[in-house]
A = this chain, B = another copy of it.
Amino acid sequence: MSRERLIVIGGDAAGMSAAAKVRREDAQREIIVFERSPHTSYSACGIPYLIGGLVEETEKLIERSPEVFRDQYAIDARVRHEVGAVDPARQRVRVRDLATGEEFDEAYDQLLIATGASPFCPDLPGREGVGIYGLSTLQSGIRVQMALAEERPRQAVVVGGGYIGLEMAEALVRQGLKVSLVQRGPQVMETLDPDMGSLVSESLRRVGVILYLAESVTGFETKGGRVRAVVTDQRTLPADLVILGLGVRPNSEMAAAAGLELGVQGAIRVNSRQQTGVAGIWAAGDCGETYHRVSRQPFYVALGTVANKQGAVAGINLAGGYATFPGVVGTAVSKICQYEVARTGLQEREIRALGLEFAAATIKTRTRAGYYPGAGPIHVKLLAERGSGRLLGGQIVGMEGAAKRIDVLATALTAGMTVQELVDLDLSYAPPYSPVWDPVQTAARQLI
């Protein structure tokens, strides 16, 4: 085998999964990874726990450092190197060493774009103020951690009630800050239907987060370049720390400039092998598009699980093997204050947008046999297609042991099961883990 060169742009989940996979399959390949932050292979999902003090050392969030990749994988992982442009015709990338400012070109035989995503911030007055943070990279988490330690902010406003915003609101309460959260919609966690989202809103209020629902941020007040308040369409909220929790956007500008096709939400379009439309260029992770197996449409989601899987698929293909990524069913889970919160499949508005009709059932039961110590409430909502009874989606909010039940629904969705088939599943039962009918089956029984 000739010594071909693979260049990977981005050194987190997708990029490093792919690089490591190629190395395992092909000892000869030259592999260079350019990562603009100082870190490789870290758990971005762990950042709220770092900031909240549940995880004590930053290093614990790093799975493998650049040195490990260099020494154990013979992967030339160069952090603080930013790729600014891709030239598909000449098969080169333009790289800038952020330490020295030096720029240089590097040629590739194959290129994997794994540039991730960035926190979304609408173009509002004052948005450049110091003290306004989005969270995506480990570096961004460390910046917030340092701000907490050095500037001792007392009043935080979280803008947006997605899962990162909510996890951060909880983390900041833990650190003793007064925390407000502004959310445009009627409830937080808009990936749930509002009836389920209201349970999450309530759990945040219970720990002291002040919620401003159905309210829009119109700008930020700054003084001497520092943020001092968040302005909404209804009030001005003093703030010395602002967290953006409005979701992320794929880092796909460079790919677009190189002529690659973009898809949903501006994510890089790929086929199921993670190939872009340009020969030799692949994409994986938060910068790329995926496919929704329930809606049967292109889809965008930024999650570590998906990035890891897509990276592994890209790696196998780049190593000369054959693998495809079949897509997602929309599964996500989070821990918000007292509640475990999970969802999969389609929610009501997604189903309506597809022109489908559905029946819904919501039940409240217990996480364990009622008599077993520690049994707590669990709410399960299921959505099934009218007529066929085919499961379309599920949402769970409940105490310890609630969340991972979503995986049964994710598996059932993947298999195209009906609610009757869900009722018929041979799920496990013992008093410490479940009532005799598992809560997901209790919900399904309402729909048959």
Of the residues B43, B333, B415, B428, contact of A406 by C-beta under 8 Å: B428
Task: Report the separation of the CA atoms of residues A334 and B49 in the bound assembly, to the nearest whole angstrom.
Answer: 31
Residues of chain A at interface, number, CB under 8 A: 64
Q: How far is B437's CA from A327's CA once the two chains are assembled, in angstroms?
A: 16
Residues of chain B within 8 A (CB-CB) of A1 are none
Q: Are A427 and B415 in contact (CB under 8 A)?
A: no
- Residue of B with least CB distance to A416: B415
Instruction: Give the contacts of A395-435 with B (CB-CB under 8 A).
Output: 401, 403-408, 410-412, 414-415, 417, 421, 423-434
Stretch in contact with the other chain, from A182-190, A210-218, A279-287, A304-312: A304-312
Is A46 touching B425 in the complex (CB atoms < 8 A)? no
- A60 interfacial contact with B, CB 8 Å: yes
Q: Is the CB of A372 within 8 A of B407?
A: no
Copies of this chain assembled into the complex: 2
Residue numbers in B under 8 Å from A415 (CB-CB):
411-412, 414-415, 417
Nearest Cβ distance between residue A406 and chain B, in whole angstroms?
Answer: 5
Assess whether A35 is interfacial by the CB under 8 Å rule. Answer: no
**B305 in contact with A432 (CB, 8 Å):** no
B403 touches A404 (CB 8 A): no
Are B407 and A329 within 8 A (Cβ)?
Answer: no
Cβ contact within 8 Å between A408 and B406: no
Chain B residues in 8 Å Cβ range of A334: 430
CB closest chain-B residue, reference A330: B426
| Given A60-B371, A407-B407, A412-B411, A429:B43 Cβ within 8 A | no
Is there an interface contact between A404 and B434, defined as CB atoms closer than 8 Å?
yes
Q: Which residues of B lie under 8 Å from residue A417 when comparing CB positions?
A: 411, 415
0/1 string, A380-408, CB within 8 A of B gives 1 = 00000000000000000000010111111
- Would you mind naming 21 contact pairs between A and B with Cβ atoms under 8 Å apart? A43-B369, A45-B429, A46-B371, A49-B372, A60-B370, A303-B429, A304-B436, A327-B426, A329-B426, A333-B429, A335-B432, A342-B428, A344-B426, A403-B428, A407-B407, A407-B408, A407-B427, A408-B411, A410-B427, A412-B415, A414-B421
Closest 3 CB pairs of A and B: A415-B415, A333-B428, A60-B371
